[in-house]
Structure 1
């Protein structure tokens, strides 16, 4: 008997744009990992390895979000440290108003 494998018709999203944007604006290291996984999605899909394509898609999304979170954490930390620096300067009279 000729059995046909049930394959999905639409490839999973590769999240390449999301990965590139988070690499540029947020976290470089985590963003590069996301780009690598995003680049693998279509290759796996075209090779017929659907499970690997889905896994690479999930990993690309995960690492892009990790990169975004790391960028936001650094931004928030920078804002908090800037506020404390200004307050410390005000307390010591460094600013003459």
Structure 2
């Protein structure tokens, strides 16, 4: 049996089940609400997941999924830290102006 047939991923092997999660919603939300540059990186990786899985590159799809998750997490954490620091600085400025 040849795995170069349509529907078998162009030579990468037989289909291996559903694609890994792409984390696209998390990537978009972290871009909008947290940290724009890192969120864009997460969106790029998230967008690669389904196309790699459809091409039969399941290792590449899993790698892109992991990268999307990592970048979305970093974006969210840095956005949360920046927000907390902003609140502290704002509160300090308000207490000094009184």
Give the corresponding residue for 1:50. Answer: 58
Give the corresponding residue for 1:13. Answer: 21
Larger Rg: 1
**Structure 1: gaps (5+ residues):** 91-97
TM-score by length of structure 2 reads: 0.83
Q: Does 1:39 align with 2:65?
A: no
Kindly provide the CA deviation profile for residues 72-93 of structure 1, in whole angstroms up to 9, marking residues without a partner as x.
Answer: 0110010000111112122xxx
Q: Does 1:65 align with 2:73?
A: yes
Give the corresponding residue for 2:94. Answer: 86
Distance across 2 between alignment mates of 1:89 and 1:14: 47
TM-score by length of structure 1 reads: 0.84
Q: CA deviation at 1:7?
A: 4.7
Q: SS of the counterpart of 2:17?
A: coil
**Structure 2: gaps (5+ residues):** 4-12
Deviation >6 Å, runs of 4+: none
Give the paired residue count. Answer: 89
